[in-house]
Amino acid sequence: MRRALQAATALVVLLVLAGPALAEAAGVQVEVDRRSMTTDDDLNVEIRLSGDFDDYAEPTMEGFEVAARSQQQSIQIVNGRMSRQQVLSLRLVARRTGTLTIGSVVLSRGGRPVARSEPVQVQVREPATQPPVSADRAQDLARNAGLPLFLQAETPRTHYYVGEPFSLAWNLYFQPQVQVTGAEIVNKPALQGLLAEELMGPDDQLRVREKVIGGRTYRYVMRSLQLATGLEAGTATIDPMALRVAVGDVFRRGAQTVRSTPFNLEIRPVPTEGRPKWFQEGNVGRFGLSGSLLDAAGTEPKTVQTGERLILDVTISGSGALLSVKAPEVDGGDAFDVQPLPASGEDDIQKDVSGMHGKRVFQFILVPRKPGKQKTPTVHFAWFDPTAEQFKELAWEGREIEVTGRAMASESQTAALAGEDIEPIIEGHTLRRDERLQLLGTPLLWALILLPLAGWLGTEITWRLRARAAKDPAKRRSRGAHKNARMRLGLAREAMKAGLVKDFYGHLSRTLTSYFEERANVPAMGLTHDELREAAGRAGYPADLLEAVIVELENCDFARFAPAGSADAQMREAAARAQELLGRLDRVEPRRLP
């Protein structure tokens, strides 16, 4: 009995000691499903690990991106021999072309390498380029009928005019039996010759819609929506967009890259023939015109006095290039002075799949100068309708009002007397042969007598006005604050046209801060935003207006020092907001700080 127990014990010890020797030797094998591919293809890699190891290092895969991975593992003991199997499956996407290498997989036990695989090289090339087709051909979706899924860029029309905004949508179509679980943009089109603005944000929900194409029902989602505008006449190529589409379910997944068909879009110039007198560059779209005339009480006036300020509101509504629409023409003649106001803040512009639509509101100050029954100025507006392909124009007829009081000089004449707009006086007369000069009792005699007196009087008035301005330069600076602000805003727009983002936001910031300094003696350039809020509040500016100004100054600071430049559309919107703020600031009569 004792001998049997000793023999059994010896056998167990032998098995324990022999265990490592009975384990299968470590090994690693790497297999790929292809050695040549395009950046649109997937590369499936299977890594098999076996034998006695306790750790492994995955291969380096520079130039590849892991799109999916899965892992299986099993351990078996057969006839006293331990067999360990571990399978790692990877799905790779190539992010560049060339010879890409999948490095060695290294197995280790106790911190020492016990097996190593050979590196695998894969040739990656660009997919075959497809020449652009015509816009008519690209918009014919029936040519894709039968494909399980495809991507297509779509526009409402096949040609557009310079300055006309239009929507450009990339739709992913798929048959109902294809289960699409995701679509990632891997290549965005350049869109040379177009000013494009993305309208879909990263958090926008993709809504599935249906459309019948070639007798088949397809589902589709809009993956990108841009508002594009042709900058110059010619051919604009809509380059292909590439999407990485994930299909399948939890148990079986796959992915493939699809590209849209490139096509040429014709951008036509606005015709030069047949342009109405009132047409201005940039007025492209389908518009309507309306207006209203109000007095200081906000009612439509019937009787006014000379010198009373009236507000003329003109609304341009419709769809098209609303951001570039020019103010309509208002001719006051000799009965009214007309002065345009900055943006009113009542503009309402939307951008969506139907393009750009909404309204622009332009305001003018009318000042009656002649007493009697007068008709307010007629408003003229002309535009080019790209759908009808013809020029159109509308007029808002003025209103009959009774003007009381004395006749008064125009603003330009008043400014001339103040020395602000003095222009050369040119006199001339014609002499006829054999004409006898009769001095006595003629207007010429009185002119010779009174002209020196009038000259002395004019010099005296001008000197006194300038002396008064010199005594109070702050008041003169205050009157010129808005004019100077508009000049600085013009510099900002010039920087925007030149693509100088930092200069643009610098000019915009100085436009607002310098206005406070000149208008209310608030040294905004040296103040923090909180200090500016407090100082301008003491000058009489309302809190909500100051908050809007400070928000805009913060936007300027962020955009000026952000690592990436702002889009052109963002700069245009910032300039429009600044102009609207200047209009609101100018309607406040502040107290000048000491």
Cβ contact 282:326 at 8 Å: yes
Residues 477 and 473: their CA atoms lie apart, in Å, by 6
Q: Residue 1: pLDDT band by 50, 70, 90 thresholds?
A: very low
Residues 337 and 320 both lie in one domain: yes
Rg of the chain over all Cα atoms, to the nearest angstrom: 39
**Is residue 462 helix, strand or coil?**
helix
Residues 157 and 91 both lie in one domain: no
Residues 94 and 168 both lie in one domain: no
Q: Residue 235: pLDDT band by 50, 70, 90 thresholds?
A: very high
Looking at 173-218, list the stretches that DSSP marks H as alpha helix, in order from N- to C-terminal side. none
**Is residue 314 helix, strand or coil?**
strand
Residues 140 and 253 both lie in one domain: yes
Q: In this predicted model, which residue has the larger pLDDT, 432 or 497?
A: 497
Question: What value does the mean pLDDT take over residues 402-424?
Answer: 60
Provide the 10 A C-beta neighbour count for residue 383. 28
Residues 97 and 188 both lie in one domain: no
Residues 157 and 239 both lie in one domain: yes
**How many distinct structural domains can be found in the chain?**
4
Domain-terminating residue out of 246, 268, 290: 268
Residues 511 and 401 both lie in one domain: no
Residues 155 and 166: their CA atoms lie apart, in Å, by 7
Task: Tell me, yes or no, whether 43 lies in a domain.
Answer: yes
List pLDDT tens digits, range 262-297.
999 999 999 999 999 999 999 999 999 999 999 888
Residues 246 and 262 both lie in one domain: yes
Residues 315 and 263: their CA atoms lie apart, in Å, by 38
**494 HSE (CA, 13 A, CB side):** 7
Q: Residue 591: pLDDT band by 50, 70, 90 thresholds?
A: confident
Residues 111 and 187 both lie in one domain: no
Task: Tell me, yes or no, whether 422 lies in a domain.
Answer: no
For the chain, how many residues are written? 594
Q: Residue 573: pLDDT band by 50, 70, 90 thresholds?
A: confident
Burial class of residue 345, CB neighbours in 10 A (0-12, 13-18, 19+): middle
Task: State the residue for tokens 């695998």.
Answer: 120
Tokens encoding 121: 């090289």
Domain-terminating residue out of 125, 151, 185: 125
CATH number at residue 243: 2.60.40
Q: Residue 204: pLDDT band by 50, 70, 90 thresholds?
A: low
Domain-terminating residue out of 95, 125, 155: 125
Which of 590, 580, 592, 593 is CA-nearest to residue 549?
Answer: 580
Residues 244 and 225: their CA atoms lie apart, in Å, by 17
Pairing of the two strands 36-38 and 120-125: parallel
Residues 100 and 155 both lie in one domain: no
Q: Which residues contact 555 (CB under 8 A, 6 or more apart)?
A: 574
Residues 285 and 255 both lie in one domain: no
Instruction: List the beta strands (DSSP E) in 231-369.
Output: 234-238, 242-248, 253-259, 263-268, 279-294, 303-305, 310-320, 329-330, 336-340, 348-352, 355-368
Residues 424 and 278: their CA atoms lie apart, in Å, by 30
Task: Tell me, yes or no, whether 470 lies in a domain.
Answer: no
Task: Tell me, yes or no, whether 363 lies in a domain.
Answer: yes
**Is residue 175 helix, strand or coil?**
coil
Burial class of residue 585, CB neighbours in 10 A (0-12, 13-18, 19+): buried
Task: Tell me, yes or no, whether 347 lies in a domain.
Answer: yes
Task: Tell me, yes or no, whether 436 lies in a domain.
Answer: no
CATH number at residue 482: 1.20.120
Q: CA of 593: how far to CAs of 474, 519, 537, in Å? A: 11, 10, 11
Residue-range definition of the domain harbouring residue 106: 21-125
Task: Tell me, yes or no, whether 548 lies in a domain.
Answer: yes
Which 3-state string (H, E, C) describes 231-244? CCCEEEEECCCEEE
Residues 229 and 115: their CA atoms lie apart, in Å, by 60
Q: Residue 38: pLDDT band by 50, 70, 90 thresholds?
A: confident
Task: Tell me, yes or no, whether 568 lies in a domain.
Answer: yes
Q: Residue 202: pLDDT band by 50, 70, 90 thresholds?
A: low
Q: Residue 563: pLDDT band by 50, 70, 90 thresholds?
A: very low
Residues 264 and 319 both lie in one domain: no
